[in-house]
Every structure is written in C-alpha cells, then in structure tokens.
Amino acid sequence: MKAQYVTNRARTFAVTGIAAAALIGLGGCASTPPPSEQMAVAEASVQRATTTSTSENAGVELQVATAKLASARQALISKDYDRARQLAEQADVDAQFAELRAQSARSRKAAQESQDAARALREEISRKSAAPIK
C-alpha cells in the first residue's frame, strides 16, 4: 500500500518533472528531470532487501545496493538527475539481485538439508529392515 502511494506520488512528481523538462528541453541539450519515480522504486527495493537473511547470505551485494542508493540521493541533492536516475535504477536491480541471491542460498541450503535428511532416513530404514524387528 505504501509502495503504491509512493508510486502515485512519484508519478505526480514525474509529471511535474516531465513538464519542466519538456520546457527546458525545448531550450536545447539540457539536464533531465529529477528521477523521483526511480528514487522511490530504489528506496522500496533496498528497504525490502534489507533483512538479516540478505545481510548474511548476500552481504556484499546488499552493500552495493545500499551504497548506490546513497549515491543516488547525493546526486539528487546535487541536481545531477541523470546520475541520480542511473544510480537509482542500478540500486533497484542490485537490491533485487541481493535479495534473490540470498534466497537462492537459503533454498540451496534447505535442499541440501532435506536431501541429507532423506538419505539419513533411507539408511536408518535399511538398517532397521536388515535387523529383525523385535
């Protein structure tokens, strides 16, 4: 819900930005509008990815995403909107990647444990059936 709200608000900003950009753009090779939507999306993605599990299983990837988001904020303040948009877009995919990498590590671990458990059970059963049941 919050993300939706953020997105709507971002859109409003975007429209404003586009209008402004269009005006400036007509004037020639000018700076891009503030990437409010991309910033909002990146904020949401990084926030979503910032969990203990992601820190443990994909710490470096998460740090990259967080650092890029910070840089994007900095660029936004500096009104370097092109840079801010790019950094925000990258922070978004970086955060998603970190999240998925952590998830896949967890899944791999769970699969391993599950297979180990199945093997242990198989062995236990074969031992049991080898010995007569008392």
Binding status of residue 28 toward another protein by CB under 8 A: yes
Tell the smallest beta-carbon distance from residue 109 to another protein (Å). 8
CB 39 within 8 A of CB 13: no
Burial of 87 from C-beta contacts in 10 A (0-12 / 13-18 / 19+): buried
In sequence order, what DSSP letters do the residues of 71-99 get, joined into one string?
Answer: HHHHHHHTT-HHHHHHHHHHHHHHHHHHH
Span 37-56, contacts to another protein by CB under 8 A: none
3-state DSSP percent of the chain in helix, strand and coil, to 5 = 85, 0, 15
| Range in contact with another protein (rule: CB under 8 A) among 1-9, 39-47, 69-77, 124-132 | 124-132
- DSSP character at residue 22: H
Q: Which residues, 101 to 120, sit near another protein by CB under 8 A?
A: 101, 103-104, 106-108, 110-111, 114-115, 117-118
What is the contact surface with another protein in residues (CB under 8 A)? 11, 14-15, 18, 21-22, 25, 28-30, 32, 82, 86, 89-90, 93-94, 96-97, 100-101, 103-104, 106-108, 110-111, 114-115, 117-118, 121-122, 125, 128-129, 133
